[in-house]
Amino acid sequence: MLDAATELSAWAEEGRDFAVATVVAVSGSAPRGPGAALAVDSRGTAVGSVSGGCVEGEVYELCRQALADGETVLRRFGYSDEDAFAVGLTCGGVIDILVTPVTAGSPVRAVLRAALSAAARGERTALARVVQGPAELLGQALLVRADGAGDRAYEGAAGAGHEGGLGGHPDLDRTAAAEARAMLDGGRSGTVELSADGSHCPGGLTLLVETRVPPPRMIVFGAIDFAAALVRAGKFLGHHVTVCDARPVFATRSRFPEADDIVVDWPHRYLRRTATDRRTVLCVLTHDAKFDIPLLTAALRMPVAFVGAMGSRRTHADRERRLREAGLTERELARLRSPIGLDLGARTPEETALSIAAEIVAARRGGTGVPLTGSGTPIHHHEAAEAGDVAAA
């Protein structure tokens, strides 16, 4: 739901009634992951998607019904041989969808409005909702902000309003907030199973925790023509893209109009002073030893998601030799993806950027990079790292 925060926050500010359907669990070859949402307002306007088209019509009607009766419902959609094209997922798999009305009389309106508003402003935000459990608790919500502040509301007993948090037991709120804050710190979204008393033992409650964090960084070192194409690819993938080069004649706004930041500095010096995290992608396109070696020596010792370097096989062999001489261990060198990119036979800057972007996605999602045709590999990998939390390559 937070992925559509800009549109839904505007609806909430306008006072519109709407219902939001959120994917809360998936299995098999489901097209969208937990947190994907479709919202429908009282005028019939729809934004978002929960299945890439398979069950949108049925979910749209569920949202309309929720607006009419004010009821929160949990519905499962799965492949059906007998009635596949009616309400089933024709591509296979199963998805569970929570449909929540956000109306003037809804007890969760205030907390959802606060969550959407914070996410739309770009604040680090986590929203935890009960998606499985007793019917009276379904849809209860807890908002956690990066500064530790929280807002609560829940659907349940009439007149309870904004009291009671997720379900009445004081430890449940504390545990849920701690779990949500941990996922927020990692930029992850997913489910958490708890007991009603707040213990970590699975005991009948499932929370969906959605997080909204600033976009991950991509830092492109080397202001060359290939970098211009990679900047566009990085923006398309949702990164905040920085171009860094020590040569002011090349690192210019006119050459990289789509970059978020352009930095004129020695690459290794800039890397050491700028903020990075476990989602950061570093692409070294300079293929010049005087830039590459000090830069990669620093990069391969940092907890970032991806470190790749451009160059021929000969350049790579020479680079590895120099990095060993600089003191890097074999384990540190194993993190280096070089020559950068998947084997697409790329020639042009745009094709090369596509090759690099494809490797970044494969590293993030646990993909193999092999063609799906004839491979028998899963289409959707259930990697350990959730979206937005990329394990170090």
Is residue 54 over pLDDT 50? yes
Share of the chain above pLDDT 90, in %: 47
Q: Which of 106, 88, 92 lies closest to 158 in space, CA to CA? A: 106
- For 211-223, how does the pLDDT look when each residue is reduced to its tens digit (9 = 90+)? 988 889 999 999 9
**pLDDT for position 200:** 72
With cut-offs at 50, 70 and 90, classify the pLDDT of residue 370.
confident
- For 56-114, how does the pLDDT look when each residue is reduced to its tens digit (9 = 90+)? 888 999 999 999 998 888 988 875 434 444 444 555 678 889 999 998 878 788 888 88
46 conformational bin, left if phi > 0, alpha if psi -120 to 50, beta if neither: beta
Query: CA–CA separation, 193 vs 199, rounded Å?
Result: 9
Return mean pLDDT, the chain.
84
Whether 353 and 232 have beta carbons less than 8 Å apart is answered as yes
**pLDDT for position 177:** 87
Query: CA–CA separation, 168 vs 1, rounded Å?
Result: 25
- Cite the beta strand spans of 270-341 per DSSP E: 281-284, 306-309, 336-337
- For 160-204, how does the pLDDT look when each residue is reduced to its tens digit (9 = 90+)? 323 235 765 678 888 888 888 888 887 788 888 888 777 777 667
Mean pLDDT of 240-262: 97
With cut-offs at 50, 70 and 90, classify the pLDDT of residue 41.
very high
**pLDDT for position 27:** 76
CB atoms within 10 A of CB 91: 17
With cut-offs at 50, 70 and 90, classify the pLDDT of residue 263.
very high
- For 12-38, how does the pLDDT look when each residue is reduced to its tens digit (9 = 90+)? 999 999 999 999 888 766 667 788 899
**pLDDT for position 159:** 29
- For 108-167, how does the pLDDT look when each residue is reduced to its tens digit (9 = 90+)? 888 888 899 988 988 888 999 888 887 777 888 889 887 655 554 433 332 232 323 576
- For 344-359, how does the pLDDT look when each residue is reduced to its tens digit (9 = 90+)? 999 999 999 999 999 9
**pLDDT for position 204:** 78
**pLDDT for position 79:** 57
Buried b (16+ CB within 10 A) or exposed e, 331-342: ebeebbbbbbbb
Write the CA distances from 170 to 115, 165, 173, 260, 369, integer angstroms. 22, 8, 6, 44, 47
**pLDDT for position 343:** 93
Secondary structure of residue 64 in the 3-state scheme: helix
Radius of gyration of the chain (CA): 23
Q: Which of 365, 316, 368 lies closest to 340 in space, CA to CA? A: 316
Q: What is the dihedral of CA 178, 180, 183, 185, to 10 degrees?
A: -70
**pLDDT for position 377:** 67
**pLDDT for position 109:** 85
- The CA angle 331-332-335, to the nearest 5 degrees, is 95
Query: CA–CA separation, 45 vs 113, rounded Å?
Result: 18
**pLDDT for position 10:** 93
pTM of the model: 0.72
* Helix H or strand E segment including 22: strand 18-27
* Pairwise pLDDT comparison (142 vs 375), residue with the higher score: 142
Phi, psi angles (nearest 5°) of residue 17: -85, 140
